[in-house]
């Protein structure tokens, strides 16, 4: 009796050279940040990274805007939070399951223990913290353009804090920032159409 045929195993498609090179650069930058001694910065980045968990930082900023800037502040706060909500759906329901990139190994790259914050269990790419930060900044900036520089600056610090604390590669936060901005732009466009402006 003939042995049953074993179906051929499917080989993973080889990654294109440019993608391999980009990943090498990404890991090299991550390692360089990990190995740079910055004790004064470590505490600040850890606090900022934790403050942004669950978008608490941005909810607090939205509350301040709504309470202090009148109708435009309330509009900006609402648009910023709506942008975060839409971005979170795109990141967690579509992007992360599709890409499935593993988190960095902090021990392998020598990230100091003083920098450690809890390692999320979700996939690494894109960074949800960076995406939410830039989504909020984009939504707020559409209504309060004078505040855009300060809010985007804070968003950039939050994004960097994810690399500094070792929970993301730089590429994760770059793509997260771009994705959050793009989703927020769509939310802003929908808001403009809704208001008929």
Listed range (6-10, 25-29, 64-68) with the worst mean pLDDT: 6-10
What kind of fold does domain 37-195 have according to CATH? Vanadium-containing Chloroperoxidase; domain 1 (1.20.144)
Reported as a pLDDT band with limits 50, 70 and 90, residue 14 is confident
Tens digit of each residue's pLDDT (9 = 90 or more) over 64-87: 999 999 999 999 999 999 999 999
Cβ-defined contacts of 49-56 (< 8 Å, 24+) = 49/117, 49/129, 49/158, 49/161, 49/162, 49/164, 49/165, 49/167, 50/117, 52/129, 52/132, 52/133, 52/158, 52/161, 53/129, 55/84, 55/88, 55/132, 55/136
> What is the reported pLDDT for 1?
45
Helix extents (H) in the chain: 17-35, 39-51, 56-68, 70-90, 96-99, 106-109, 128-143, 148-164, 170-195
Q: What is the mean pLDDT of residues 179-188?
A: 98
Would you call the peptide bond into 133 cis, given omega within 30 degrees of 0 as the criterion?
no
pLDDT greater at residue 32 or residue 9: 32
Interval 86-113: pLDDT, tens: 999 999 999 999 988 999 999 999 999 9
Binned at pLDDT 50, 70 and 90, residue 5 comes out as: low
Q: What pLDDT is recorded for position 16?
A: 82
Residue 194 binned pLDDT confidence (cut-offs 50, 70, 90): confident
């Amino acid at each position: 009796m003939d042995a049953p045929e074993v179906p051929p195993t499917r080989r993973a498609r080889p990654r294109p050279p440019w993608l391999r090179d980009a990943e090498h650069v990404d890991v090299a930058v991550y390692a360089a940040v990990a190995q740079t001694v910055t004790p004064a910065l470590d505490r600040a980045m850890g606090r900022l990274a934790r403050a942004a968990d669950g978008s608490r930082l941005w909810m607090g900023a939205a509350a301040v805007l709504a309470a202090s800037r009148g109708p435009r502040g309330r509009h900006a706060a609402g648009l910023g939070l709506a942008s975060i909500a839409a971005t979170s759906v795109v990141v967690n329901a579509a992007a992360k399951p599709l890409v499935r990139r593993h988190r960095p190994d902090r021990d392998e790259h020598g990230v100091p223990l003083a920098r450690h914050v809890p390692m999320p269990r979700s996939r690494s790419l894109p960074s949800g913290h960076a995406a939410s930060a830039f989504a909020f900044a984009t939504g707020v900036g559409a209504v309060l353009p004078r505040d855009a520089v300060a809010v985007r600056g804070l968003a950039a610090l939050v994004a960097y804090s994810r690399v500094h604390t070792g929970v993301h590669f730089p590429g994760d936060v770059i793509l997260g920032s771009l994705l959050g901005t793009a989703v927020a732009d769509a939310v802003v466009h929908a808001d403009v159409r809704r208001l008929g402006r």
